A and B are shown apart, each in its own frame.
Chain A
Amino acid sequence: MPFDLIARRILFAVPTLFGVAVIVFALGYLAPGDPALAALGLTSEGYTSFDAAEVERVRAELGLDQPGYVRFAEWLGGALVGDLGRSYVQPFAVSDLIGRALPVTLLLIAGTMTLAIVIGVPLGIVSAVWQGRWGDYLARVIAILGVSTPTFWLALILILVLAYTFPIFPISASLERDGPIALVLPILAIATHPAALIARMMRASMLEVLAQDYIRTATAKGLSAYRVVMTHALRNAINPVITVIGFQFGNLIGSAVAVEQIFALPGMGSLLIGAIYDKDVLVTQGVVLAIALVFILANLIVDLLYTLIDPRIRL
């Protein structure tokens, strides 16, 4: 792997991240309501002249009396060294909150991705090899349903079926108390959509490869169908699938937001929703920035992986 290539890609990501920072900060800046009131645990209705001095003090303490560009520069400068400020509501630094939530979400996504690949790739291969037969139709119907099922709704259905009706999984499992079993239903819910997408992509890509001359040659050589598919076709068909997997990362984070909320998993999604409800602007900004950073990194890794698998591709 050429290092200048990696360096160049990372360099390209810098202006994008800066742009994200501008947007994220602007949203917080434009937000109605006074963060100083939120920090004091007050709503604007409960705000009386009695508190004015105190509010002013907190506002100065939080740097809210500074002009926007100064606040942006300070926020960005802090972000560069991992300091995203302190939560207005909880007694923690934003980076600590993210540090605790991010591993949960990453674990969730890693599990989801693994399951989606394990289900999607074979489903797509079977569908392509059996093209036009009932197995193909069944696999395609499953894939269409999987692509179209709303993730957050599926999560509720899974709870209903696999926790209430057939109590196979605990209804409310906590990651700390019960361990990985708490992740099973969330992963099932989130994985359905990407598994279906991967299956559809795998099928289309495989069909294209199976029509190539060198596959006919391999078959003519007397190789077993299994070997033709698994060694000759799969290697050539897998690239577009990897692209889809990479593109899915952002969607997965999106699905995770709602699903974490449903299963009360303490990940980035729950942190984001909680911060939005609490009007905790710094936490909201920090979480969105961190998610964008992870997203950009993930795309970078997929791009590099792509060149590794297919040396013909130059970035």
Chain B
Amino acid sequence: MARELTRHEATDLAPAPGGGFADSLRRFLEDRLNLISTALALALIAAALLAPVISPYPPDLVAPESQWQGPSWDHWMGTDQYGRDVLSRVLYGARVSLFVGIVTVVLAMLIGVGLGALAGYLGRVADEILMRVVDVFMSIPGIVLALAIVGLLGPSLTNIIIALAIYRIAQFARVTRGSVLSVMAQDYIGACRAIGMGGRRIILLHVLPNCIGPIIVLATVLLGNVILTEATLSFLGMGIQPPTASWGVMIADGNEYLMFAPWISIFPGIFLLLTMMAFNLLGDGLRDHFDPRGRSVL
């Protein structure tokens, strides 16, 4: 090793003390804003999981006699043009949003982190090629790329997830590559090499675990972002197709009756807003948590 570690670096490198995660979580939740955003996100996930149990009506129950009813004790969020209960559809919509969001982000993370790590670790030509490809995908605005893919290839669920994931793969690859490069410059990676460790072990055991912070932050922010993009696609008729309850489809439905039944659009929009807020704030909180000196950009 070229130089001795300073004391500060040495403590940085020391393994987390026992109970590290619980400790870390407690510190994270001490911030009131983090507590609120975590609670909001958990409530949303609970609503999605429990939709079949807590929905007052089946989401597709058509009741022509009760169409366009305003919010009341029977229908907390009113009914739509087919007399379907808006609250029940909003709850089922949360399932669709979260499912598409989580599958997309996990898919994009697996591929993007893999590619980014490879580019950062291999460097040279591999890095150059991958980053140029990332540039290409990132120079088409996400929603435009998604619209083009779904529009030309057809709005199946698979195509929607692919369309949403491609742009995010590029984002994950870029962020991971940056983190990998900065970790690779650390002395301990040199030490790993010096003791003859293989490339795969170095990446998986020593490089990636130290890049996890920015990746988690990105995943959180992108979850909200993907849910919004899916809603926008569905709103434009290029995403989830009716009659499946999805927030974007519901807002589009209500658009036609905005003048006399605004609740059809308003409530799914509020849920979308709360979802975005939860994941934006959570992303901010996690960023401060992992990198207290970093600046929140979002």
* A135: Cβ under 8 A from any B Cβ: no
Is A244 close to B, CB under 8 A? yes
Interface window among A147-155, A181-189, A218-226, A227-235:
A147-155
A-B contacts besides A150-B232, A150-B273, A257-B236, 4 pairs, CB < 8 Å: A156-B258, A160-B258, A254-B143, A272-B148
Whether the pair A284, B139 counts as a contact (CB closer than 8 A) is no
Chain B nearest Cβ from A271, distance in angstroms: 12
Partner of B148, one of A17, A150, A157, A288: A288
Interface 9-mer from B61-69, B207-215, B274-282: B274-282
Chain A hits for B274, CB < 8 A: 148
Residue of A16, A208, A244 ringed by the most chain B CB atoms within 10 A: A16
Chain B stretch 143-157: residues in CB contact (< 8 A) with chain A: 143-145, 147-149, 151-154
Q: CB-nearest residue of chain B relative to A29?
A: B152
Does B25 count as interface, using CB distance less than 8 angstroms? Answer: no
Residues of B within 8 A of A254 (CB): 141-144, 232
Q: A20-B136, A201-B297, A273-B236 are in contact. Are A28 and B152 (CB under 8 A)?
A: yes
* CB-CB nearest in chain A for B144: A291
Among B15-23, B79-87, B118-126, B259-267, the stretch that binds chain A is: B259-267
Give B228-256 as 1s and 0s: 1 = Cβ < 8 Å from A's Cβ atoms: 10011001111000000000000100110
B215 to chain A, nearest CB (A): 20
A258 touches B132 (CB 8 A): no
- Using CB atoms, name the residue of chain B closest to A254: B143
Interface: A281 (CB within 8 A): yes
The 8 Å CB contact of A273, one of B142, B147, B231, is B147
Q: Within the complex, what minimum Cβ distance (angstroms) separates B206 from chain A? A: 32
- CB-defined contacts of B237 to chain A, threshold 8 Å: 277
- The answer to whether B259 touches A164 (Cβ under 8 A) is yes
Interface of B is mostly: helix
Pick from B149, B224, B228: contact of A27, CB under 8 Å: B149
- Knowing A273-B236, A284-B151, A288-B148, the reply to whether A16 touches B269 (Cβ < 8 A) is no
A24 lies within 8 A of B235 (CB): no
Q: Which of A269-312 contact B (CB under 8 A)?
A: 272-273, 276-277, 281, 284, 288, 291-292, 295-296, 299
**A208-220, CB under 8 A of B: which get 1 and which 0?**
1000000000000
Name 5 A/B residue pairs within 8 A (Cβ), A-sorted: A159-B258, A204-B296, A253-B144, A254-B141, A299-B139
A146 to chain B, nearest CB (A): 10
Q: Do residues A153 and B272 form an inter-chain contact, with CB atoms below 8 A? A: yes
Q: Which of A149, A160, A258, A291 contacts B236 (CB 8 A)?
A: A258
- Are A257's CB and B152's CB within 8 A? no
Q: How far apart are the CA atoms of A159 and B259 in the complex, in Å?
A: 9
Contact in complex: A144, B136 (CB < 8 Å) = no
Residue of A nearest to B295 (CB): A204
User: Is A138 part of the binding interface, using a Cβ–Cβ cutoff of 8 Å?
Assistant: no
A32 contacts B151, CB within 8 Å? no
Given contacts A250-B141, A253-B144, contact A156 B265 (CB under 8 A): yes
B-side contacts of A23, CB under 8 Å = 136-137, 140
Q: Are B269 and A150 in contact (CB under 8 A)?
A: yes
A262 within 8 A of B: yes
Q: Which residues of A contact B137 (CB under 8 A)?
A: 23
Minimum Cβ distance to chain A for residue B173 (Å): 15
